[in-house]
């Protein structure tokens, strides 16, 4: 729509470079501030759990700002803006179980990836130690994973990349898949890659159908909250371990739940919100 308040920008490799540049510059700026603080006040902020949160936010915010100022505004004459409209309660009753089903399916597939051996064992050990550092402070972990990550990542991967590809003329199914694969790759490990791609497809589908970025943000936060609770209370990011059952049972439950609510959502759900 020509008179839409939402800019019809496109996403290309140039936009990707701009996002990466913004992420790097924002992260470096926070790091330089930490170095300055250490020299001036003899206090190492990098040892503070909250500083990781600040650095993370600085990177994402700068990336989004760069895309807005260097891509969106010059090409559309409008500032970057998204639809965050809520939807009716019945829609939430469809999308959350659908997300839960895919979470169970992705857990089963992830469980098939080796965690031992000369290569995978060392890689998994390194990844596990990294995750332990991130989960040292539960409050910071919850803020970063349940609030910050869903907001920033959905803006970038669904709001910018997926939407920009669709605006460029890419088939919506391919755009959802491409954005999900990129989302998986940035996690930099195979165990999170699988879940990120599969769950990213659900998030992308919900965004495409509803046109509201609020819904994938809520679903993303729900997924990360479940993972955080599992890690905090069971020391394992596994529903099978938490419920003391087989991964095959988890897979079966996931297929049934996802299939049912995917059908209800895609065949019965009518789009109530459009970007105007």
Give the start-to-end residue ranges of the domains of the chain.
Answer: 1-81, 85-268
CB 71 within 8 A of CB 14: yes
Check pLDDT > 80 for residue 23: yes
Please say if the pLDDT value at position 272 is more than 70. Answer: no
3-state helix, strand, coil in the chain (%, to 5): 75, 0, 25
What span, in angstroms and rounded, lies between the C-alpha atoms of 260 and 254?
10
User: What ranges make up the beta strands (E) of 219-276?
Assistant: none
Quote the pTM value. 0.89
Per-residue model confidence as pLDDT tens digits over 112-137: 888 787 777 777 777 777 666 665 67
d(CA 30, CA 39): 14
pLDDT tens profile 140-183: 878 888 999 999 999 999 999 999 999 999 999 999 999 999 99
DSSP states of the chain as a string?
-TT-SS------HHHHHHHHHHHHHHHHHHHHHHHHHHHHHS--GGGSHHHHHHHHHHHHHHHHHHHIIIIIHHHHSS----------HHHHHHHHHHHHHHHHHHHHHHHTS---STTHHHHHHHHHHHHHHHTSSHHHHHIIIIIIHHHHHHIIIIIIIIHHHHHTT--HHHHHHHHHHHHHHTT-SHHHHHHHHHHHHHHHHHHHHH--THHHHHHHHHHHHHHHHHHHHHSSS-HHHHTT--HHHHHHHHHHHHHHHHHIIIIIPPP-----
Q: Please, are residues 210 and 197 in contact by the beta-carbon 8 Å criterion?
A: no
Lowest mean pLDDT among 73-82, 132-141, 177-186: 132-141
At 218, is the pLDDT very low, low, confident or very high (cuts 50, 70, 90)? Answer: very high
């Amino acid at each position: 729509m020509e008179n839409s308040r939402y800019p019809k920008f496109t996403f290309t490799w140039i936009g990707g470079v701009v996002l990466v540049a913004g992420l790097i510059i924002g992260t470096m700026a926070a790091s330089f501030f930490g170095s300055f603080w250490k020299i001036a006040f003899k206090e190492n902020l990098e040892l503070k759990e909250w500083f990781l949160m600040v650095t993370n936010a600085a990177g994402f915010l700068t990336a989004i700002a760069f895309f807005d100022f260097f891509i969106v505004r010059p090409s559309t004459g409008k500032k970057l803006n998204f639809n965050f409209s809520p939807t009716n309660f019945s829609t939430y009753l469809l999308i959350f179980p659908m997300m839960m089903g895919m979470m169970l399916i992705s857990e089963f597939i992830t469980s098939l990836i080796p965690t031992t051996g000369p290569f995978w064992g060392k890689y998994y050990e390194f990844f596990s130690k990294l995750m332990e550092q991130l989960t040292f402070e539960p409050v910071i972990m919850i803020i970063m994973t349940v609030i910050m990550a869903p907001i920033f990542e959905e803006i970038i991967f669904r709001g910018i990349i997926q939407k920009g590809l669709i605006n460029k003329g890419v088939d919506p199914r391919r755009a959802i898949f491409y954005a999900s694969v990129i989302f998986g790759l940035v996690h930099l490990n195979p165990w999170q890659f699988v879940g990120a791609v599969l769950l990213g497809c659900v998030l992308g589908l919900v965004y495409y159908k509803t046109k509201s970025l609020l819904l994938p943000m809520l679903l993303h936060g729900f997924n990360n909250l479940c993972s955080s609770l599992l890690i905090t209370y069971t020391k394992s990011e596994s529903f099978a371990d938490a419920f003391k059952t087989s991964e095959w049972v988890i897979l079966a439950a996931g297929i049934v739940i996802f299939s049912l609510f995917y059908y209800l959502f895609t065949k019965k759900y009518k789009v109530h919100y459009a970007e105007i």
